Amino acid sequence: MEWVTTVSMWMIPSIIAIILIAGTVKKVPTYETFVEGAKEGVSMSFSIIPYLVGMLVAITVFRESGAMEFFISLIRPALEMAGIPADIVPLALIRPLSGTGALGMTSDLIATHGPDSFIGRLASTMQGSTDTTFYVLTVYFGAVGIRKMGDALKVGLLADLIGVFASIIIVSIVFL
């Protein structure tokens, strides 16, 4: 699997080279065009701030107050009955809420159980297979000023749930 790391390493530089060469061939004024497009990035980043501050403060308060832990302990018995290992439950619940939180929890699980244990492999798969729904929602909609989100949140969270169950089932079949 050495090629995987090689491919990832070459990916971004290759994309940059292709874009710049194609631009030159098509006689695009590359540098001016770059600056013109890049300006947009600055204002866009600033426009995301209010959305992300609102979301992250709420999530941090919810987590630090102990409320998140309480709700996890409430539904833990039900999840365990469904065959979901208890150690993985906090990760599954925090994954849609906080990217850095989930990453920290994944490292923690891998450190405690070992990367090649069942929990370690499950945590790795789960971390890699879903994205932080709240972050994606906030950043993507925030940047272009969408306030009425419709069914987006429900769809995103249900997709996460499917990802969690898919991870558990697939890792169980492959590694057990």
Q: What is the dihedral of CA 10, 13, 14, 16, to 10 degrees?
A: 160
For the bound state, the minimum distance from the C-beta of residue 77 to another protein, rounded and expressed in Å, comes to 20
Query: Which position among 65, 73, 77, 86 is part of the footprint of another protein (CB under 8 A)?
Result: 65
- Could you say which of 84, 88, 91, 96 contacts another protein (CB under 8 A)? 96
Residue 78 or 144 with smaller CB distance to another protein? 144
Q: Is 97 exposed, middle or buried (0-12, 13-18, 19+ CB in 10 A)?
A: buried
Applying CB under 8 A, among 13, 58, 75, 85 the residue interacting with another protein is 58
In single-letter form, the type of residue at position 126 comes to M
Taking the least distance from each CB to another protein, the nearer of 38 and 78 is: 38
Give yes or no for residue 128 binding another protein (CB under 8 A). Answer: yes
Region binding another protein by CB under 8 A among candidate stretches 73-81, 83-91, 132-140 = 132-140
- Under the criterion CB under 8 A, does residue 1 sit at the interface with another protein? yes
**C-beta separation of 91 from 127 below 8 A:** yes
Rounded to an integer, what distance in angstroms lies between the CA atom of residue 101 and that of residue 105?
6
Q: Under the criterion CB under 8 A, does residue 74 sit at the interface with another protein?
A: no
Does residue 66 bind another protein (CB under 8 A)?
Answer: yes
Cα-based torsion angle of the residue sequence 25, 6, 121, 167 in order, rounded to the nearest 10 degrees = 20
